[in-house]
């Protein structure tokens, strides 16, 4: 029995046959949970939750609020990813995501450098 590919792009993600669905679901779940957990460690969101919990004295409320926010932002990513997967081949989508990550990293690095006093003082017109 072959895998079914309803996508117009031959390289797009295929749906597993029923016998493989349980194993595939588990692998995707563990991979996603691990990746998101590691990506969020030390993230601005985690630091914000830490500060809000310390300031408010209400760690359970902060946990619920931060959890709901992460669920909502993840939903946006999942829906957008699903939509883009229908429009673009998987290889192109991966390449575009990589380029976007590099561009965001460079932009954030530039923003961080501009806030450093030593770097800012060395610029023409700087303090």
User: For 34-86, what is each residue's pLDDT tens digit?
Assistant: 988 888 888 888 889 999 999 999 999 999 999 999 999 999 999 999 999 99
pLDDT tens profile 103-121: 999 998 888 888 877 655 5
| pLDDT for the residue 103 | 95
Flag whether 116 is in a domain: yes
Judge contact between 38 and 44, C-beta under 8 A: no
Domain count for the chain:
2
Query: Is 101 among the domain residues?
Result: yes
Say if residue 1's pLDDT is above 50.
Answer: no
Domain boundary among 71, 87, 103: 87
Instruction: Please determine, for residue 123, whether its predicted confidence score (pLDDT) is greater than 70.
Output: no
Q: Is residue 40 part of a domain?
A: yes
- Are 40 and 81 in the same domain? yes
Residue 71 belongs to domain spanning? 24-87
> Does any domain span residue 118?
yes
Residues in a beta bridge with 81? none
Element (H, E) at 33: helix 18-40
Tell whether 36 is covered by a domain: yes
Q: Are residues 57 and 79 in the same domain?
A: yes
Please enumerate in sequence order all residues whose Cβ is within 8 A of that of 70, keeping only pairs 6 or more positions apart, or say none.
Answer: 40, 45
**pLDDT tops 80 at residue 6:** no
Is residue 105 included in any domain, yes or no? yes
Calculate the CA dihedral of residues 19, 23, 28, 33 and round it to 10 degrees.
150
**Residue 126 backbone dihedrals phi, psi, to 5 degrees:** -75, 170
Distances in Å between the Cα of 111 and the Cα atoms of 42, 60, 68, 100 are 19, 33, 29, 16
Burial readout 36-55 (b: 16 or more C-beta within 10 A, e: otherwise): eeeeeeeeeeeeebeebbee
For residues 30 and 69, state if they share a domain.
yes
Q: Do 31 and 71 share a domain, yes or no?
A: yes
Residue 4, φ and ψ in degrees, nearest 5? -95, 140
């Amino acid at each position: 029995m072959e895998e079914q590919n309803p996508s117009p792009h031959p390289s797009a993600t295929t749906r597993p046959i029923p016998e493989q669905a349980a194993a595939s679901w588990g692998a995707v779940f563990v991979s996603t949970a691990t990746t998101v957990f590691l990506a969020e460690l030390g993230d601005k969101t985690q630091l914000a939750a830490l500060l809000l919990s310390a300031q408010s004295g209400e760690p359970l409320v902060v946990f619920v609020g931060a959890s709901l926010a992460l669920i909502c932002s993840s939903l946006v990513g999942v829906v957008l990813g699903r939509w883009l997967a229908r429009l673009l081949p998987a290889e192109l989508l991966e390449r575009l995501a990589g380029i976007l990550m590099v561009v965001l990293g460079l932009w954030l690095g530039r923003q961080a450098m501009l806030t450093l006093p030593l770097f800012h003082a060395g610029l023409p017109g700087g303090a």
